[in-house]
Amino acid sequence: MIDLSAYAGIVFDMDGTLIDSMGGHLQAWQQTCEAFGYEFDFDFMYGLGGVPTLATIDILNEKYQRDHDPQQVAKRKHEFWLAMQHQPVVIADTLAVLDNYKSIMPVGVGTGAERDHAVQLLTDTGLIDKIQALVTASDVRQGKPHPETFLTVAKQLGVAPSKCVVFEDTQIGYQAAQRAGMDCILVKDGKIQV
């Protein structure tokens, strides 16, 4: 088990870090891109993991010189996601860390997902009762790579940012953790990178 004794709080990203849902999201994004005339670039879209949906659409509009209504595109992406009836699976490595440390220090989740979606996924996977704080795209003004998400989790946990460690699967999330003054451990393909 990874030694986190130097910290007083743990913050997990959700999609791709605690829950293996990135594949489903990328599939929904691919359908969305095709529906709205954006080129779908798997690596580019994966790199935007953790960025709130509306901000992702702003990025796509700018990159591909489109002016689609972000609310309309987000609604369609959500419809594609729901139609897949994706069954979320918890990532074993990060679940083991959460289960090992949840009685030792407070644990929170900081995600770029909207609140309703995050609560549903965390409830469906039995994780909601294991965390003390949840900060979503619905709760902040600026999504990752801005540090607001992780700073808000730390505040809710009552732990100084410098005493928190973040688990993340994207570079954007890593940047957000660094900007929040937190150490960050990357998770790649469901495995903790140490």
pLDDT at 81 over 90: no
pLDDT at 87: 78
pLDDT at 21: 78
Q: Which residues pair with 184 in a beta bridge?
A: 166
Angle of helix 22-36 versus helix 53-63 axis, rounded to 10: 40
Q: Cite the active site residues.
A: 13
Read off the pLDDT of residues 21-47 as tens digits, 9 standing for 90 and up. 767 888 999 999 999 999 999 989 988
pLDDT at 56 over 80: yes
Per-residue pLDDT band at 179 (split at 50, 70, 90): very high
What is the helix, strand, coil percentage profile of the chain, to 5?
50, 15, 35
How would DSSP label each residue in 121-138?
HHHHTT-GGG-SEEE-GG
More reliable by pLDDT, 70 or 53 = 70
Is this prediction's pTM over 0.85?
A: no
Mean per-residue pLDDT of the chain: 93
Domains of the chain: 9-21+88-192 (3.40.50.1000), 22-84 (1.10.150)
Read off the pLDDT of residues 116-143 as tens digits, 9 standing for 90 and up. 989 999 999 999 999 999 999 999 999 9
Per-residue pLDDT band at 84 (split at 50, 70, 90): confident
User: What are the C-alpha distances in Å from 139 to residues 37, 52, 68, 105?
Assistant: 30, 11, 24, 23
pLDDT at 86 over 80: no
pLDDT at 117: 87
pLDDT at 26: 86
